Structure 1
Amino acid sequence: MGMSVTISAASAQDAEQILKLQYLCYQNEAELYGDYTIEPLTQTLDDLRAELDRGHALVARLGDEVVASVRGSVDAAGTARIAKLIVHPRLRRHGLGGRLLDAIEARFADDPAAQRFQLFTGHRNEGNLRLYRSRGYAPVATEETGARLRLVTLEKQAGAGAYAASA
């Protein structure tokens, strides 16, 4: 990539940058499905802060700029739910999304409650589907959420193909 991107835990001070990046990153998704009311585009700063308090969040920084992020939490059933993996459009296709996914998996690998990893994406998002499959995720469910959108849920067992990130 030619630049030094570092991955670390997100802090409360990162919330505003994460929200702005999220808004930028989900424009393509909204356009793909013709729906600009999707939750990532309507989430408030207060909602994001509460989400960060409830789970784990990582950010990738290029200098002081947050250029990528991912969030997740473990539920009572032992599912580590990974969400909102976002990478700034100018840094896509350089492996940063994969590094972040590996890093959040590594974070949950230390949690004995986490038995499986689960995430979802829209059925038309071939880039996301390709990334998740390359990391060992397999589709386990599809949910119709509107006239144009089906969410594909993918899952893999904790420890199955997960490896420590070089973050």
Structure 2
Amino acid sequence: MPDRDLSPYLGQGVQVVIDRPLGTYHPRHSNICYPVNYGYLPGTVSGDGAPVDAYVLGVDVAVAAFEGIVIAVIARADDIEDKLVVVPPDKTVSRAGIAAAVAFQEQFFTAEVVMTGDASMPHPHTLDDEDIEIIVATPDDWQAARDIRLEALLRDPQAFGSTYAESIGRTEDEWRTWVSRPGVTLLLARADQAVVGIVGGLRGDDMTGDAAVAWVVSMYVTATHRQRGVGRRLLQAILADLEEDPVLTRVILHVSHSQLPAQRLYASLGFVPIGEEDGEIIMARPLR
């Protein structure tokens, strides 16, 4: 079972296997050098399906393994996994000291240092499957589709080809047409009595004329429901829909470099980078 709430680890003794020792570089980002030892807790499972990761502080040399005490959790509001902070039993590090030590990597996330005595972890719970309803949008769902689409264009404009300014003036008929475009399946996610996500599956590549290629488009989850399983359910549903088409053999999507949580989600469902276009990463996976 993936472990999203890491607060029970606080104050506990743990063993850490170091796979990124102090002084080494990030395997995918060569500009990031690790000023601390960084590793994982064997036998654990975090929100992304991999072992729980940990920063080791208070050790000034590179090590291959470490045993210490968990003094803090780095809680990420915009990622599916949090991190532990582990120190030697005789060491103490302040909240500010922890934040400074892990800033080399946590600067790319909205992160909070949670320590023993803090009231609670800041993340809402992951929704169960039965709490998320995925529906195929019809023209009668045009208002719900419009609202979530406009929110997406307003809050994450870098992720889409259209703009909020172009879309805000569309009429009801235009939105109905957008929802029911030929060759496109549009899915909406409902949770907590509201539409909280959207994704589209486009059959065929208009640019190349390749009928065997599908595209994942219009992917968005409202901020209050990110990291709660909605995005994964949407992607799983649209992939299942595309897999039913015997003509389609491959699915492609674009994702911006800044959307690291989205990249990790796509990778966890089998997508791999195959190139770049217009400053975005192109990811693809076979459909069967």
Q: TM-score range by the shorter chain?
A: 0.7 to 0.9
Q: Distance in 2 between matches of 1:65 and 1:13?
A: 16
The aligned residue for residue 197 of structure 2 is 68
The 5 Å alignment of 1:113-152 reads 113-144=247-278, 150-152=279-281
For residue 21 of structure 1, the aligned residue among 120, 141, 148 is: 148
Q: Distance in 1 between matches of 2:223 and 2:195?
A: 12
Instruction: State the SS of the aligned residue for 1:20.
Output: helix
Query: In the TM superposition, what is the alpha-carbon distance from 1:20 to its structure 2 partner?
Result: 1.6
Does structure 1 conserve the Cα–Cα contact (< 8 Å) formed by 2:140 and 2:176? Answer: no
Does structure 1 conserve the Cα–Cα contact (< 8 Å) formed by 2:153 and 2:162? Answer: no
Which structure 1 residue ranges, 5 or more long, are not aligned?
Answer: 145-149, 160-167
RMSD value over aligned CA atoms?
2.4
Instruction: State the SS of the aligned residue for 2:273.
Output: strand
The aligned residue for residue 5 of structure 1 is 132
Instruction: State the SS of the aligned residue for 2:227.
Output: coil
The aligned residue for residue 163 of structure 1 is none
Aligned structure 1 segments of 4 or more residues deviating by more than 4 angstroms: 45-48
Does structure 1 conserve the Cα–Cα contact (< 8 Å) formed by 2:137 and 2:187? Answer: yes
Does structure 2 conserve the Cα–Cα contact (< 8 Å) formed by 1:6 and 1:61? Answer: yes
1:80 aligns with 2:214: yes
The aligned residue for residue 72 of structure 2 is none
Query: In the TM superposition, what is the alpha-carbon distance from 1:97 to its structure 2 partner?
Result: 0.3
- Aligned-partner residue type, residue 237 of structure 2: A
Structure 1 residues 78 and 40: alpha-carbon distance in aligned structure 2, compared to 1, 3 A threshold: farther
Residue-pair matches, total: 150
For residue 56 of structure 1, the aligned residue among 185, 202, 205 is: 185
Query: In the TM superposition, what is the alpha-carbon distance from 1:23 to its structure 2 partner?
Result: 2.2
Does structure 2 conserve the Cα–Cα contact (< 8 Å) formed by 1:61 and 1:68? Answer: yes
TM-score (norm 1): 0.78
Q: Deviations over 1:70-127 (max 9, x none)?
A: 1112114311111011111111101110111000000011100110011111121111
Percentage of pairs with the same residue: 24
- Aligned-partner residue type, residue 162 of structure 2: E
1:94 aligns with 2:228: yes
Structure 1 residues 128 and 26: alpha-carbon distance in aligned structure 2, compared to 1, 3 A threshold: farther
The aligned residue for residue 242 of structure 2 is 108
TM-score (norm 2): 0.47
Q: Distance in 2 between matches of 1:40 and 1:116?
A: 28
Instruction: State the SS of the aligned residue for 1:16.
Output: helix
Instruction: State the SS of the aligned residue for 1:94.
Output: coil
The aligned residue for residue 9 of structure 2 is none
Q: Which has the higher contact order (CA 8 A, sep 6+)?
A: 1
Q: Distance in 2 between matches of 1:154 and 1:49?
A: 29
Which structure 2 residue ranges, 5 or more long, are not aligned?
Answer: 1-126, 205-209
